[in-house]
Structure formats: C-alpha cells, structure tokens
Amino acid sequence: MVYDLLDRLFVLIGPVPEDSYLITASTKAGIDSLERSVRGLSADMRDCLFSHVFDYISSRFSLTGKGMNINATCASSAIALARGASLIELGRADSVLVCCFDLVAEYVFSGFCALQAMSPAPCMPFDRNRKGMNIGEGAAAVLLMSPERAKREGRSSLGTLAGWAVSNDAFNITAPDIDGRGLTPAVRKALQMSGITEDAVSAICAHGTGTVYNDAMELKTFRKVFGNRTLPVFSVKGAIGHTMGAAGGIEAVLCLKSLKTGIIPPTAGFKEPDTGAEGLVSNEPAIIPCNYMLSTNSGFGGVNTAIILGKETMS
C-alpha cells in the first residue's frame, strides 16, 4: 500500500491529551531496585515491575486511556513508535504517548560483559578497529497524533512518522544475521509504506552499536537497499552510549531535530572506515537539505526495525 505523507500522523508539541493511549518501552524497568534489595538496602520493589512504571506515568499525565509496555530488547522504543503509529493508522486511537527509558545497572553491565560485547574504550561505530559498545542511559517522550486531530487542536508539529516496519531474522539469540536478511526487508517495507523511493532518503540514523557484527550487518543492508549512493550514515552511540530500550525513541527525536536544522550529526569515535563505510560515515557534521530520514534499530532475538521520519509539514 502507498500512502500520501500529508495523510500520515504527526509528532507534536504541546500538552498531552488525557485520552491518549500510553505505550511505555523499556527492557529492564527499575532493575536497580532489585539490586538494592539484594544488598539489604531500602528499595521500592514495585519499581521492578513494568506495570508500576506504566501506572506512574499514566498518573503523572492524568491519562484515562488504555496502554501497554513494549519489551523487545534494544528495539523496544522503535517498535513502540511503530505500534503507536499503527493504532492511529487503524483508527483505534488518535493520540498516542510513547515513553521510553532505560538505565545503567550492574545487572545490565554484567550481562553485556558476559557476552563480550563491551568496549574497554569509548566505542567506535563503523570503525574497522571497533571493539564493542558502551552502555548509556536516557529517556524520551513522543506524542503521536492523527493529522485530523492535530489540525483540529491547532497543534505544532515536529515532523511526521511516514513509514515503519518490524521484522525478525530468527538467526541467533544475541547476534544479527550478518547479511541483513532481517533488517533489509524491514527497510524496504518502511519505504513502501511511506510512499517514497530510496532516492528520497537524505540520511540514515543507524543503530550503530560499535559491535563487530551489528555494524557490518547494517552496512550490508544499506548497500543492498541504497546501492552505491553516498548518503550520510551516522550513529549517536559513540556520543551518548547505547541507551538500550530507549535508543529508538531518543534517536527518532534527534532525527526530527536533524531534519529541521539540516545538520547531520557526526559519528563520535569514528576514525578509520570499515569495509562498506567509506564515503558514508564521518566524524564531522554535514549540512544538507533533508526531507526524509531513515532510523534503524536491532535487538536480541533477531528483531529489526526501520522508521521513516519526515520533515514537519504543518505550523
């Protein structure tokens, strides 16, 4: 199916409507409370439950609508955005609040160390000498709304969510399919949904964890979909670390800012391009006109997401 961008949903500025459908996205919720409890320190064990975090946010915004939590490892918040967009597309909601968050805890740190995925130095996404990832923490809140309601309420828009897709390569519990056989169809499906061609994408915000297999998989995917184009590819994880379940949401917000300013962020830590990164990744910012940007995320269990973000189209 092909859709007109102007008929898609908007990412908005302003107060959150009380009837908004709430989607939270997190991989571990308040896991630090469990660690404190094990050490005999005071802790509110309710924080460990996704439902408690969901109830807190719902109460904070006096929300009366329904909701859910998405726990899909490092693609959690990207899937939450896709899920919220789908609810609006299907007419099951006209306002969706997506809140994503994850924090650094010993449990998370130890787990990635056990997988030998951590870099002993600042991570170097898409660099031939990369040695792994760094953990970061953060949160983002994104309000999605149907164009009809947004216009009716006179809302200002940060941009549009023009297309989205989710796939699973069913390859390995922790490693991606190195040939991108999961991410590639997700990117193509998202492009098809947005109604734009590959040439309309101005830049790519990659998952770019700095691990050997993830970065190689993404570069292969981008070459498959976009051919030999030299469109900019960047990762923010060299600057802010891998924020796990919050990554896709944070990166979507950064993409919207990039679309507005026309400034493509640099990839911190990048020095020597790995095979396939030549001419795509840079440690310097670039200024180019942007109308559409692709954001990709992947996670354990073979999950892959692709989101097409568009420049703001309403005032």
Residue with the two structure tokens 């492009």: 191
74, 99, 100, 255: which is the annotated catalytic residue?
Answer: 74
Question: In this structure, what is the dihedral angle of CA atoms 189, 191, 193, 195, given to the nearest 10 degrees?
Answer: -150
Catalytic-residue membership of 100? no
Structure token pair of residue 216: 């190689």
The residue type found at 217 is M
What is the distance in angstroms between the CA of the first residue and the CA of the last residue of the chain?
Answer: 28
**CB-neighbour burial class of residue 84 (10 A; exposed 0-12, middle 13-18, buried 19+):** buried
99, 242, 255, 290: which is the annotated catalytic residue?
Answer: 242
Give 67's strand partners.
22
- What is the C-alpha R_g of the chain? 19
Catalytic-residue membership of 52? no
48, 205, 207, 290: which is the annotated catalytic residue?
Answer: 207
Catalytic-residue membership of 207? yes
Helix (H, G, I), strand (E, B) or coil at 80: helix
Question: Which residues are catalytic, by number?
Answer: 74, 207, 242
